[in-house]
Structure 1
Amino acid sequence: MTVKESNSWIRIREELLRRINERVWQPGETIPGEAELAEEFGCARTTVNRALRDLAEAGLVTRRRKAGTRVAVNPPHKATFTIPIIREEVEARGSSYSHSLLKREKRPLPTSLHAAFPVGDEAFLLYTETVYFADDRPFMFEERYTNIDATPAFAEAAFDLISPNEWLVQNAPFTTGDLTCYAANAGPALSGLYECQDNTPLFVMERVTFNQTQPITHVRMTYSPGYRLRTGF
């Protein structure tokens, strides 16, 4: 199959990807050069270069000057990540759901988060604390910094009927992010919330989302004792 009728780098990338996936070009094999591909597809070399650059950024080919372009031997395997809505997670367990907004205020980003959440010094950050309940028992405690420059309507949203988590899922699309999971011991505040002993191990997730390069939100979620994360891929 050829795509001479199209000058689109996206169409060319799709055809090159087909050849890689169908093993027309084997892992480690050197593929035709830009000039040869440009002649085949009836386009400029810059168009082919754009398609190959995109495949290289995805880890599907490796490009070396004077050595040509090769099909990657060990391409990365990626899964799509969907941010869960806490209400749906609670209801899927057969429990009744509710949430309570404890705090909502403009607050500067702590120094400890600057590396993970690179917003400017003048950014308007809205800090919220929310408790999510399952059958009227605390299920998760959320601490969130949201960049209002990225999501202006968040500053005016009422969180009585919808939580910050669900509002952002519905209204703030993201293109990339970072997720960290770890265990932390309960301090006085969380041990009181969850009615557990101090230093009880709790499951924590920290998530940062971006729209292109613009930070959207940084959230720290601490779950009740015994919480187990299960996910599919």
Structure 2
Amino acid sequence: MTTPQRHSWKDIRDRIHARILDRTYRPGDKLPHDEDMAQTLGCSRSTVQRAMQDLSESGLVERRRKGGTHVRPEPVARVTIEIPIIRKEVEDLGQRHGYQLLSRAALPPPAEIATRMELSAHVPCLHVRALHLAQDRPYLYEDRWINLQTAAEIDSVDLCTISANEWLVLNMPYTRCELRFFALAADADLAKALHTSPNTALFAIERTTWIDTQPITTVRTIGAPGYQLSAST
């Protein structure tokens, strides 16, 4: 008697993906029901559902309630960008991380920040500016606002010994994130902090996170000249 082979959801995902690539399932085709797919591939229905979820998140298939699963006529290319612990990001490059807390103040958010966070201008926030170093050279400048109603505990954290970035990643999981990427010209303060010349073009990332409907933080990080961002598909 032989024992049926166990398949992980990743195995099933890859097999379905292969059938999409070889045009067994063509663009626009409706895929078999999950139960039928599970029987064909020799796995559980829940395994197929997890595989389909990943294919949907990757933009290859579209799942509709009561409408079934279809191969997208025009697959959507998507990438995954994780919110990094900047200390670990620097160390993964084989470099020594350094950190300087430049300022910390409890302030009402200015109108631009309140709008970005979908927050009342009267909600107390913590404004933090910091500089991350790699091999004692500027790496990333951080300008952050934190909602003290959502992340009240950070008000008692020593941000000289742990960055707001690291504390929030470890302690405040989010359910929604908005990202914006752009270039900006260094003003005098940024040029001094990042050891570059005024008007140098710098890469900036603006990121805002929420837990359900409650804003957690909004941050603008600005890389020193040569900074690179990596993502995976």
The aligned residue for residue 209 of structure 2 is: 209
Q: 1:123 offset after TM fit, Å?
A: 2.0
Q: With structure 1 as the length reference, what TM-score do the two structures score?
A: 0.69
Determine the C-alpha separation between the residues in 2 that align with 1:29 and 1:135. 53
Structure 2 residue identity aligned to 1:232 = A
Deviates more, 1:137-146 or 1:78-87: 78-87
- Kept in 2: contact 1:208–1:217 (CA 8 A): yes
- Kept in 1: contact 2:124–2:147 (CA 8 A): yes
The aligned residue for residue 227 of structure 2 is: 228
Query: What pairs up with 1:132-211 in 2 under 5 angstroms?
Result: 132-211=132-211
Determine the C-alpha separation between the residues in 2 that align with 1:97 and 1:31. 49
Aligned-pair RMSD on alpha carbons? 3.8
Determine the C-alpha separation between the residues in 2 that align with 1:136 and 1:218. 26
Query: What pairs up with 1:96-107 in 2 under 5 angstroms?
Result: 96-107=96-107
- Kept in 1: contact 2:177–2:210 (CA 8 A): yes
Structure 2 residue identity aligned to 1:228 = Y
Structure 2 residue identity aligned to 1:74 = E
Structure 2 residue identity aligned to 1:82 = E
Gap runs ≥5 in structure 1: 1-16, 33-53
Q: 1:228 offset after TM fit, Å?
A: 3.1
Determine the C-alpha separation between the residues in 2 that align with 1:82 and 1:223. 17
Cα separation, partners in 2 of 1:223 and 1:25, compared to 1, 3 Å: closer
Structure 2 residue identity aligned to 1:210 = W
SS of 1:121's partner is coil
Q: 1:99 offset after TM fit, Å?
A: 1.0
Q: 1:134 offset after TM fit, Å?
A: 1.9
Identify the structure with bigger relative contact order (alpha carbons < 8 Å, sequence gap 6+).
2
Cα separation, partners in 2 of 1:135 and 1:25, compared to 1, 3 Å: closer
Question: 1:150-193, CA deviations, whole angstroms, 9 ceiling, x for partnerless residues?
Answer: 22211111112211111111001112212222211111112222
Deviates more, 1:192-201 or 1:126-135: 192-201
Aligned residue pairs, count:
204
Structure 2 residue identity aligned to 1:119 = L
Gap runs ≥5 in structure 2: 1-12, 33-52
- Kept in 2: contact 1:62–1:72 (CA 8 A): no
Identity of aligned residues (%): 32
Determine the C-alpha separation between the residues in 1 that align with 2:202 and 2:25. 49
Determine the C-alpha separation between the residues in 2 that align with 1:161 and 1:108. 25
